[in-house]
Amino acid sequence: MDVNGSVIVITGGGSGIGAQVGKELAEQGAKVVVAGRRAEKLDKVVTEIETGGGEAFGVPTDITDEEAVGNLMDAAIDRFGRLDVVFANAGAIADSLMLNTDKATGKVKKVMSTKRFKKVIDINLVGSFLTLREGARRMVDNGWKGLLLITSSINSTGQLGQLNYSSTKAALTLWPKILSGEFHLRKIGIRVAGIAPGYTATEILTGMNQDALKYILKDVHIGRLIEPSELTGTVKYIMENEAIDGTTIEVTGGLTFGPRARVK
Ligand SMILES: NC(=O)c1ccc[n+]([C@@H]2O[C@H](COP(=O)([O-])OP(=O)(O)OC[C@H]3O[C@@H](n4cnc5c(N)ncnc54)[C@H](O)[C@@H]3O)[C@@H](O)[C@H]2O)c1
């Protein structure tokens, strides 16, 4: 698939990885539809793309809203005539230990609330499901050979304090295999692939306590955050290579949990 001329819908396109990938693919000729909850953030990305001579528009969308996600895909098709890539990139965290104990008594003081657990499941899993389903059904009904892309995370391997988030990302890492198997069975020509970034320089991390950031970077071989631009290359690589299907590619800078304790 050529990036130039392709139509790509990106959820979470108003900030971070989604915004950067959208801007850079637009520079290379992709027609970009950015979706997210906040219109003003989408507008900013669209203006930047248009200023650079690219084509884009934004659709305010809550990805947990089934009807809104369908409308997003229809808007992309109405405007650009087709759908080549659906990038389920939006995600959220709400970290907490499952049990917080009182230091003095050792008894449970507070638990992770059901609401907090479910919020992340709803956005990361249900939202990604709706995004991919509503995109794929339109590709199939129109006979388009497209690509479904998913943002997983290195934290799919299990991160302390992220029982909810890591659970969703572990599941998302499996989806390319499950869905490309389904499409193979049904002779549907849609590829499915994921990217699993390591610690990436978006607001979530650059805004965090800088001492804590230095500490987690001790686990990263290249010793720095991944730049969102470095993920654009991976997205482009997946788009252009038909052989990449049914898999999730890690881009982590050599993150392994463990060295932190020994690296000075
Ligand atoms: N930054 C990292 O270190 C890192 C590492 C691994 C994976 N990721 C994943 O990358 C993806 C993008 O994250 P980011 O780092 O760019 O952070 P980000 O916070 O800038 O992006 C997340 C986007 O998802 C959107 N979003 C959240 N809930 C939504 C909803 N209900 N409907 C529509 N949009 C919604 C947010 O508005 C935001 O634009 C996420 O899936 C995240 O889990 C990030």
Q: In whole numbers, what is the pLDDT of the chain averaged over residues?
A: 95
Q: What is the mean pLDDT of residues 129-135?
A: 98
* Residue 260, pLDDT above cutoff 70: no
pLDDT digits (tens, 9 = 90+) for 177-191: 999 999 999 999 999
Q: Tell me which of 23, 202, 203, 208 to substitute to probe ligand 1's pocket, judged by most ligand atoms within 8 Å of the beta carbon.
A: 202
pLDDT > 70 in the chain, percent? 98
Whose tokens are 């499901």? That residue is 129
pLDDT of residue 262: 66
* Residue 171, pLDDT above cutoff 80: yes
Residue 177 neighbours by CB under 8 Å, 6+ apart? 246, 247
88-92, 134-138, 210-214, 216-220: least confident range: 210-214
Asked if residue 20 has its Cβ within 6 Å of ligand 1, the reply is no
Which amino acid type is present at position 25?
Answer: L
Whether residue 2 lies inside any domain: the answer is no
Length of the chain: 264
Q: What is the mean pLDDT of residues 201-211?
A: 81
Residue 136 neighbours by CB under 8 Å, 6+ apart? 86, 146, 148, 179, 188, 190
pLDDT digits (tens, 9 = 90+) for 8-30: 999 999 999 999 999 999 999 99
Asked if residue 30 has its Cβ within 6 Å of ligand 1, the reply is no
Asked if residue 58 has its Cβ within 6 Å of ligand 1, the reply is no
pLDDT of residue 203: 85
Per-residue confidence band for 226, with pLDDT thresholds at 50, 70 and 90? very high
Closest CA to 152 of 208, 207, 62, 91: 91
Distance 143 CA to ligand 1 centre (A): 30
Whether residue 34 lies inside any domain: the answer is yes
- The 10 Å CB-count burial string (b at 16+, else e) for 228-240 is bebbbebbbebbe
Closest CA to 112 of 54, 167, 180: 167
Whether residue 152 lies inside any domain: the answer is yes
Please give the residue range of the domain that contains residue 214. Answer: 7-261
Angle at which helix 228-240 crosses helix 16-27, to 10 degrees, equals 60
Indicate which CATH number applies to the domain containing 139. Answer: 3.40.50.720
What is the DSSP code string of 29-49?
Answer: T-EEEEEES-HHHHHHHHHHH
Whether residue 101 lies inside any domain: the answer is yes
Asked if residues 95 and 162 have their Cβ atoms less than 8 Å apart, the reply is yes
pLDDT of residue 206: 75
Q: Which two tokens stand for residue 58?
A: 């934004």
pLDDT of residue 213: 83
pLDDT of residue 2: 98
* Count of domains for the chain: 1
- The helix, strand and coil proportions of the chain, stated in percent and rounded to the nearest 5, come to 45, 20, 35
Distance 24 CA to ligand 1 centre (A): 17
Asked if residues 231 and 17 have their Cβ atoms less than 8 Å apart, the reply is yes
* Residue 142, pLDDT above cutoff 80: yes
Whether residue 1 lies inside any domain: the answer is no
pLDDT digits (tens, 9 = 90+) for 39-51: 999 999 999 999 9
Evaluated on CA atoms 14, 19, 25, 29, the torsion sign reads positive
